[in-house]
Amino acid sequence: MNLKPDFNRFLAAVRHQETDRVPLSEILIDYSIQSQFLGRTVTAGDLPAQVEFWSQAGYDYIPITVSMMSPGKVTEESKITRVLKEMVLREKPGTTDPKAWNLEFTSFIHERPDLDKFPWEAAADIDFTKLHAVKDLLPPGMKVIAISGKIFTLTWMLMGFNNFALKLVMDESLVAEVFERVATIQFKALETLFAMEHVAGVWAVDDIAFGTGPMISPAAFRKHVFHWYQKVADRCHDHNRIFLMHSDGDLSVLMEDLIAMGLDGIQPIDPSCMDMAKVKKQWGDRICLIGNVSNELLRSATTQEIEARVKELLRDAAPGGGFALGSGNSVPNWAKFENYMAMRAAGLKYGGYPIKLKS
Amino acid sequence: MADHMEAIKNAVIGGKHAEIKALVTQALDAGLDPNTIISDALIAAMDVVGKDFGSGKIFVPEMLVAALTMKFGLDIVKPRLAGGQIQSRGTVIMATVKGDLHDIGKNLVSMMLEGAGFKVLDLGVDLSVEKLIEQVKAIQPDILGLSALLTTTMPEMQKVIGELKTQGLRDKVKVLVGGAPLDRAFAEKIGADGYGTNAAEAVELARRFTGVKA
């Protein structure tokens, strides 16, 4: 099986075409997994090793985060956290608990006056260093997908979820303004991304649903969030880039909206609440589906069970293109390494086109 | 009388937070019994809200505003009650288990339980088995509600139930579990008394556990 990176392979899948094989795809693979694969330690600062991992493991791109926040967590070293720390220490000198400037524990915009106190200018200073640095490390055929454009999650984290939800009804204009400021920052970053030829797409990692359905009403999403995504999609397509999105949860009632706004692919089709076969049947001809090997399986299943699940997914979702194989979220450090390898191996073994798996 | 009650109920369901205080005041001034206003208008409204949320008719923001509206109404009724206290329908301890910092779901359940008339003590996130047992001993709740978002923290729930057994507390408290990665089979496997897929189901279970009629 051909392991050489070829972004055209991934692009073909996004465009519902069959090539040599189903592409492998993730938004994040923990460095501990990358280390075990390469047989040496891979760290956040070791970009050459990261490129080596993603290319040798059979991926056609490397995902690099350039957003205001890292996907799913606000790490201590992230730009926004440094900025918030400065602000907290300015207002409350002597604060020592890191939770005070960590968005996972503390929100900053509760009422209208907080909006102007927040250091937007500094927060908008997004670090593109890694993205520039990776250019000369990429092997032929390999591209970068920028993990960027989180709008919904960042807005509610800035406001605190309960406060955000209440204000969405009780002070809608405040919420709209936070959305706008966040989106404007993320939107501006796109122009820098588009100037880099090795960046072939944008992947917005932005959870918008619970396991039971959307976090806010579809109408509120349309009013406050989706028009921003539509603009991102339009700008991406104007610059010949793809636009993908990650969201956990049950997206069923939002799928038509996501497709209408021009999204090229959606990941991971949350296996805890969505059925890939049904999703493929209902929407799979209009949007590329990426994922959805359950993380619980990656944690606790046998390698045989992993292989069986991969075969099911390939059978149900791969024929005709429009599918890339990956985890049901990301590959965390608590996934069994042998299960990650089993998922990857089964994808490469049975994912050659034409798919020959039968039910 | 029926008009007053219907107006209060509709205000809570519709999240009319700016209107509720005046409506409740008018009802009290008209001579309506404070306990009846609580049970037949405020709590009854939250039942409708819970059902609408469970069926996907409304979403978290609308549910939270309804709960806040109800609270505004309760604040007006409370001083008119004998002793100034609302009769609790039961006491619930809520917590996210150790190693897990997620609290959106837990907070929603807490708010809906309060809306249904339960006294809720929310202990927060990242609660160790020891701390939970200590609180169960001290507070003696009717229900212990445990939440987890991560598959890696789900086993903590089983540890809590195990320790409740060891300490001879298991038959003194009902254990209600919830969270995105859980399912009914897991809840049964670890010996929980109930599993709710959302806040509305959690309220129904709490009522069943405490013998409260909806």
* A297 in any annotated domain: yes
Segments in A143-275 forming alpha helices (H):
152-159, 161-170, 172-194, 218-221, 227-238, 255-260
Compute the distance between CA of residue B153 and CA of residue B158 in angstroms, rounded to an integer: 10
Contact: B101, A334; criterion CB under 8 Å: no
pLDDT band at B213 (very low <50, low <70, confident <90, very high): low
Q: Could you give the number of structural domains in chain B?
A: 2
pLDDT at residue B163 in the model? 96
* A94 in any annotated domain: no
Q: Same domain, yes or no, for B99 and B79?
A: no
Q: Same domain, yes or no, for B148 and B204?
A: yes
* A338 in any annotated domain: yes
Interface test with B, best of A162, A171, A327, A329 (most B CBs within 10 A): A162
Contacts of residue B198, defined as CB under 8 A and 6 or more positions apart, other chains included, come to A212, B53, B54
Cis before A339? omega within 30: no
**A236-240, B41-45, B177-181: segment of lowest average pLDDT:** B177-181
Q: Of B50, B84, B118, which residue is a domain's last?
A: B84
CB-CB neighbors (< 8 A) of B15 in chain A: 169
CB-CB neighbors (< 8 A) of B122 in chain A: none
Q: Is the pTM of this model over 0.90?
A: no
pLDDT at residue A119 in the model? 85
Contacts of residue A253, defined as CB under 8 A and 6 or more positions apart, other chains included, come to A213, A214, A218, B56
Compute the distance between CA of residue B53 and CA of residue A141 in angstroms, rounded to an integer: 49
Interface test with B, best of A170, A174, A334 (most B CBs within 10 A): A170
Residue appearing with tokens 């798919």 = A355
pLDDT at residue A70 in the model? 46
pLDDT band at B214 (very low <50, low <70, confident <90, very high): low
Strands (E), B69-128: 91-96, 119-122
Compute the distance between CA of residue A325 and CA of residue A340 in angstroms, rounded to an integer: 12
Q: Of B84, B116, B150, which residue is a domain's last?
A: B84
Nearest residue of A to residue B103, measured between CA atoms = A161
Cis before A354? omega within 30: yes
Q: Could you give the number of structural domains in chain A?
A: 1
pLDDT band at A68 (very low <50, low <70, confident <90, very high): low
* A93 in any annotated domain: no
Q: Same domain, yes or no, for B112 and B74?
A: no
Closest C-alpha to A229, from A256, A265, A252, A263: A263
Q: Same domain, yes or no, for B141 and B169?
A: yes
> Which tens digit of pLDDT belongs to each residue from A141-181?
999 999 998 899 999 999 999 899 999 999 999 999 999 99
Contact: B58, A217; criterion CB under 8 Å: yes
* A127 in any annotated domain: no
As for the ipTM of the complex, it is 0.89
Cis before A140? omega within 30: no
Contacts of residue A337, defined as CB under 8 A and 6 or more positions apart, other chains included, come to A33, A36, A37
Contact A170, A113 (CB under 8 A): no
Contact B180, B149 (CB under 8 A): yes
Q: Same domain, yes or no, for B174 and B129?
A: yes
Residues spanned by the domain of B132: 91-210
The CATH number of the domain holding residue B199 is 3.40.50.280
Q: Same domain, yes or no, for B55 and B133?
A: no
Closest C-alpha to B174, from B55, B64, B93: B93
Q: Same domain, yes or no, for B100 and B199?
A: yes
> Which tens digit of pLDDT belongs to each residue from B69-92?
999 999 999 888 877 677 788 999
Contact B181, B200 (CB under 8 A): no
Burial class (CB in 10 A: 0-12, 13-18, 19+), A156: buried
Compute the distance between CA of residue B70 and CA of residue A28 in angstroms, rounded to an integer: 43
Q: Same domain, yes or no, for B59 and B30?
A: yes
Report yes or no: A253 at the B interface, CB cutoff 8 Å: yes
Mean pLDDT, chain A, rounded, equals 92
Q: Same domain, yes or no, for B104 and B198?
A: yes
Q: Of B63, B84, B105, which residue is a domain's last?
A: B84
pLDDT higher than threshold 90 for residue B27? yes
The CATH number of the domain holding residue B75 is 1.10.1240.10
Determine the straight-line distance between the first and last CA of chain A, rounded to whole angstroms: 23
> Which tens digit of pLDDT belongs to each residue from A197-213?
999 999 999 999 998 89
Q: Same domain, yes or no, for B66 and B165?
A: no
Report yes or no: A333 at the B interface, CB cutoff 8 Å: no
With vertex at residue A331, the alpha carbon angle to CA A328 and CA A337, rounded to the nearest 5 degrees, is 120
Residues spanned by the domain of A32: 1-65+287-359
> Which tens digit of pLDDT belongs to each residue from B147-177?
998 878 899 999 999 999 999 999 999 999 9
Residues in chain A: 359
pLDDT higher than threshold 60 for residue B145? yes
Compute the distance between CA of residue A329 and CA of residue A344 in angstroms, rounded to an integer: 15
Residues in chain B: 214
pLDDT higher than threshold 90 for residue A74? no
Report yes or no: A215 at the B interface, CB cutoff 8 Å: yes
Q: Same domain, yes or no, for B128 and B53?
A: no
